[in-house]
Amino acid sequence: MSLVNFNKMLARARRENYAVGAFNVYHLQDITTVLAAAEAVRSPVILATTRDAFAHSTMEDLVAVIKRRARATEIPVCLHLDHARDFDTIIRAIFAGYTSVMFDGSSLPLAENIHKTREIVKVAEPLNVSVEAEIGRVGRVQTQYSEEKTDDGAVFSDPGEVKKFVEETGIDACAIAIGSLHGMQKQEASLNLNLLEEIRKRVEIPLVLHGSSGVKETELKEIGARGIQKVNIGTRLQRVFTDEMRRILAENKNLHDSVKVLESARKALKKEVIHKIEILGSSNKVRN
Ligand SMILES: [Zn+2]
């Protein structure tokens, strides 16, 4: 089928208390693997790309591949632009064929974040493109290889501000900061579930969790019922993929066939994506 925006997917997830995974993809290997995993367990899926992905594969190439793959499958696939901070990138993505965009104005003062997000909604809505925006700030763990070494300042979302933000912008989904951080390698973050409940009481639209690689799976299992309907997963997938490449190369010193190395990494990645889908509860939500 054609690419879809996330509105119907997340509305159903909200009614039925589960979350849909938004998996960060960067190249053909992870695109095909995430789709194969979602197909295997009949789950709707969101493929998310960041500017890091565009540095490797261009935006237009990614869209071409993902559109073609989505047409060949029966499961609903949403192509989402993750963490765009400027109007130009968002417009370019919408024209390239993205069905969903995130404007990240979380580092801006509230009034400016509202104003800029509203401008994006005005353009996206008539084109049937869903819009996510962020209020509060999900920070980033500083690592040697992180692109944003200085960006580790997290600010919890304020429930009153979330309400104002949602009402004044007209967004379709809201990313909130409740204790997770981008780039965590270990599952050591603890979510502030009381804060989530306070936010949930004030807004109706689906909420989004970023930085879920560092969140315990016991908590991930619960959050669909608590109002988080979209869960972004990136770091964990990168870790599984590269760990498997390291393993197979270390164990087979004479292996020089890149296809075999990638095949092995894809197999490990597929297993992990299926596992995450099952944790989030979105498997078997697409009819056979
Ligand atoms: Zn994020």
- Residue 286 located in a structural domain: no
Distance 258 CA to ligand 1 centre (A): 30
Contact 279, 221 (CB under 8 A): yes
Q: How far is the CA of 83 from the centre of ligand 1 (A)?
A: 6
What is the distance in A from the centroid of ligand 1 to the CA of 174? Answer: 12
Between CA 58 and CA 196 the distance in angstroms is 36
Q: Out of 30, 52, 61, 82, which one is annotated catalytic?
A: 82
> Is residue 1 assigned to a domain?
no
How far, CA to CA in Å, does 202 sit from each of 166, 198, 265? 10, 7, 43
Count of helix runs (H) and strand runs (E) in the chain: 11, 8
- Per-residue confidence of the chain (288 residues) as pLDDT tens digits? 899 999 999 999 999 999 999 999 999 999 999 999 999 999 999 999 999 999 889 999 999 999 999 999 999 999 999 999 999 999 999 999 999 999 999 999 999 999 999 999 999 999 999 999 999 888 888 664 444 444 467 789 999 999 999 999 999 999 999 988 888 888 888 899 999 999 999 999 999 999 998 899 999 999 999 999 999 999 999 999 999 999 999 999 999 999 999 999 999 999 999 999 999 999 999 987
CA of residue 24 to ligand 1 center, whole Å: 10
Report the alpha-carbon distance of residue 272 to residue 34 in Å, rounded.
9
Which DSSP state fits 157? P
Take residue 278 and report the two structure tokens written for it.
Answer: 């099952």
How many domains, the chain? 1
Residue 45 falls within a domain, yes or no? yes
Looking at residue 142, its pLDDT comes to: 65
Within-domain flag for 2:
no
Residues with CB under 5 A from ligand 1 (ion): 210
Task: Report yes or no on 285 lying in a domain.
Answer: no
**Active-site residue 30, yes or no?**
no
Query: Is residue 174 assigned to a domain?
Result: yes
Cα 42 to middle of ligand 1, angstroms:
25
In a domain, 81, yes or no: yes
Domain of 156, in residue numbers: 7-280
Residue 214's CATH number? 3.20.20.70
Q: Are 22 and 256 in contact, with CB atoms under 8 Å apart?
A: no
Position 245 in a domain:
yes
